[in-house]
Amino acid sequence: MSWYRLELTDEEIRIGRLNKIQNDFMKMWLTLDANNDTALFHLRDANNNRDTLYIYSESKAHSEVFCRMFSAVSCDAPDFAELVPMVSGERLIERLSATRS
């Protein structure tokens, strides 16, 4: 189980990079049939005016693909309660919720 992060600047948000990443992630997620082991989350830190995307994966092969695609870096697990799922399978979300309770 691994977490990876990608921080976006206000300029990147303004030009639509968030939506592009979400769309590109979804396409590859479907291609890899990664719905049971990989997800994309969003965290908006309004206090610091920052957006961070988190990729969670239980598959080393899948995490390598997504980290390469988006230049995401390994990180500690974020506070799951604050994350907004962008691309995820329902069972994976249930598992993650259960382990954080």
Spatial distance between the Cα atoms of 28 and 15, rounded to a whole number of angstroms: 22
User: pTM of the prediction?
Assistant: 0.91
- Residue 36: CB atoms within 10 A of its CB come to 13
Spatial distance between the Cα atoms of 43 and 56, rounded to a whole number of angstroms: 13
Q: What does the domain layout of the chain look like in residue ranges?
A: 2-94
- What is the predicted pLDDT for the residue at 58? 93
- Report helix, strand or coil for 58: coil
- What is the predicted pLDDT for the residue at 97? 85
User: In tens digits, what is the pLDDT along the chain, a chain of 101 residues?
Assistant: 699 999 998 889 899 999 999 999 999 999 999 988 999 999 998 777 789 999 999 999 999 999 999 999 999 999 999 999 999 988 898 888 887 65
- What is the predicted pLDDT for the residue at 101? 55
CATH topology of domain 2-94: Alpha-Beta Plaits (3.30.70)
